[in-house]
């Protein structure tokens, strides 16, 4: 699979997707969004891949935002379709993926870049990272889920302030807000992501997929997350991974999960 704007690497059950538009500070255009969709879809379908890491090329930016030159002259209808298509094929797609997706925020994560990071299941940041949703300074609002996911992650008041001021926060502030799980050096960012990914790889892929669905259910309108959890819990009992996990525990050995 050949891409113009991303690099895809796979090693030891981990797929690393690198957004590679350094001259544009890895800004998201429609082609990059489509390529990310295709790469993530392929990684999800690959049984050998258990965790996906998304990061940006270089040491300045994860994703510095959307490519404004692409939509500066859009009509109301075109703008609406842009947001709807992006959410469907990338942002919601990542959030509901059956495999864990980790964002390695290695620099600026602004606008669509922060929205991409927030769509991932959790985030790590380098100590030079800066995050924000500056859309209102351009006369528009976040359109890729930013107004929904940011309050879920850091609370309504803080999210309102970030969105309305169009300001940036640094990595340590993001850590204190709960927007990222860890802050480390640029050099240690991917190794730390990989270390956590390997811990995830030791566990049942079927159970992890079910856990993602159950956690996400709590944030969906009209869905009872407890019911989703109960159903998912019950279904686990019918899997080969459950049999292996419980048997390994009783036999005092390490489980060998197959994802079935």
**Cβ atoms 149, 126 nearer than 8 A:** no
**Cβ atoms 68, 106 nearer than 8 A:** no
Q: Which of 44, 95, 115, 194 is catalytic?
A: 115
**Cβ atoms 126, 184 nearer than 8 A:** yes
**Cβ atoms 58, 107 nearer than 8 A:** yes
Question: Rounded to whole angstroms, how far apart are CA atoms 194 and 100?
Answer: 12
In degrees and rounded to multiples of 5, residue 148 shows phi and psi of -100, -45
Q: Which of 135, 161, 229, 251 is catalytic?
A: 135
Active-site residue 251, yes or no? Answer: no
Question: Rounded to whole angstroms, how far apart are CA atoms 128 and 72?
Answer: 29
Token representation of residue 124:
């790590």
Active-site residue 115, yes or no? Answer: yes
- The label of the residue with tokens 């998201």 reads 28
User: What's the CA dihedral at 118, 122, 124, 128 to 10 degrees?
Assistant: 10
Question: Rounded to whole angstroms, how far apart are CA atoms 161 and 140?
Answer: 16
Question: Rounded to whole angstroms, how far apart are CA atoms 244 and 204?
Answer: 9
Q: Which residues are catalytic?
A: 115, 135
């Amino acid at each position: 699979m050949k891409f113009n704007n991303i690099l895809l690497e796979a090693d030891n059950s981990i797929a690393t997707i690198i957004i590679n538009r350094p001259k544009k500070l890895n800004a998201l255009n429609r082609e990059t969004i489509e390529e990310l969709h295709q790469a993530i879809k392929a990684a999800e379908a690959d049984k050998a891949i258990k965790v996906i890491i998304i990061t940006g090329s270089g040491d300045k930016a994860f994703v510095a935002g959307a490519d404004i030159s692409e939509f500066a002259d859009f009509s109301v209808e075109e703008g609406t379709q842009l947001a709807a298509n992006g959410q469907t094929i990338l942002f919601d797609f990542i959030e509901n993926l059956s495999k864990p997706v980790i964002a390695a925020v290695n620099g600026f994560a602004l606008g669509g870049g922060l929205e991409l990071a927030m769509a991932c299941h959790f985030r790590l940041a380098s100590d030079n990272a800066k995050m924000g949703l500056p859309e209102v300074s351009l006369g528009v609002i976040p359109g890729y889920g930013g107004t929904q996911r940011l309050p879920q992650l850091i609370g309504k008041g803080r999210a309102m302030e970030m969105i309305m001021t169009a300001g940036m926060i640094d990595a340590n502030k993001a850590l204190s807000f709960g927007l990222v799980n860890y802050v480390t050096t640029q050099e240690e960012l991917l190794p730390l992501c990989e270390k956590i990914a390997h811990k995830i790889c030791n566990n049942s892929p079927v159970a992890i997929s079910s856990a993602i669905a159950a956690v996400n259910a709590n944030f969906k309108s009209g869905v009872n997350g407890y019911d989703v959890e109960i159903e998912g819990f019950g279904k686990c009992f019918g899997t080969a991974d459950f049999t292996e996990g419980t048997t390994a525990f009783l036999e005092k050995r390490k489980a060998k999960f197959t994802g079935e």
